[in-house]
Copies of this chain bind each other. A is one copy, B any other.
């Protein structure tokens, strides 16, 4: 991953190398369910990082919903 300064310098100052979304070669190797499960984990960690209480009913389903909409 690039450093904070480098990211800010690049900003939007880059040429589009392709009109297509830059995908990895193995982009479709995993099943959707598997991806949802993994993304759910990362969003859960993100919410905890933000200090949100995931045991609350209003938030407990959020990682799943987020992962599904990705």
Could you list which residues of chain A lie within 8 angstroms of chain B, going by C-beta atoms? 1-2, 4, 7-8, 10-11, 14-18, 21-24, 26-28, 30, 35, 38-40, 42-46, 48-61, 63-65, 70
Contact = CB atoms under 8 A, between A and B. Distances in A.
Which of A1, A21, A53 gathers most chain B CB within 10 Å? A1
Contact of A22 (B4, B53, B61, B63): B53
A61 B7 contact: yes
Which of A14, A21, A42, A53 gathers most chain B CB within 10 Å? A42
A42 B53 contact: no
Contacts of A42: 42-43, 45-46, 49
A52 B64 contact: no
